[in-house]
């Protein structure tokens, strides 16, 4: 069995939760639903840890972090 690995993802989380994922340099721009699906697929493929890199974007950083904590992380719990 292969050892799990870490995936680093540059993330631009947009306001609309239904926005489909689109690739950007070293990551993706998406709404939270597509992000959740993407992270679940990574886990299925053996990724044990995902590092989300949040850079400057159109949304306030605190708003993005709050959405990750209240909507994305709970959806990934087993």
Distance from C-alpha of 32 to C-alpha of 56, rounded to nearest angstrom: 18
- Which residue has 């159109």 as its token pair? 58
For the segment 14-30, what is each residue's pLDDT rounded down to a tens digit? 999 999 999 999 999 99
**Average pLDDT over the chain, rounded to whole?**
93
* pLDDT tier at 54, thresholds 50, 70, 90: very high
Q: Indicate the pTM of the whole model.
A: 0.91
Is residue 1's pLDDT more than 60? no
Average pLDDT over residues 47-68: 93
In this predicted structure, the answer to whether residue 48 has a pLDDT above a threshold of 90 is no
* Residue 25 burial class via C-beta count within 10 angstroms: exposed 0-12, middle 13-18, buried 19 and up: exposed
**C-alpha to C-alpha distance for 3 and 9, rounded to whole angstroms:** 19
């Amino acid at each position: 069995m292969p050892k799990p690995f870490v995936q680093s993802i540059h993330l631009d989380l947009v306001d609309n939760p239904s926005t489909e994922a689109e690739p950007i340099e070293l990551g993706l721009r998406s709404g939270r639903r597509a992000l959740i699906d993407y992270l679940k697929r990574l886990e299925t493929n053996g990724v044990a840890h995902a590092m989300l890199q949040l850079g400057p974007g159109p949304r306030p950083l605190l708003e993005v972090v709050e959405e990750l904590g209240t909507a994305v992380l709970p959806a990934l719990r087993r």
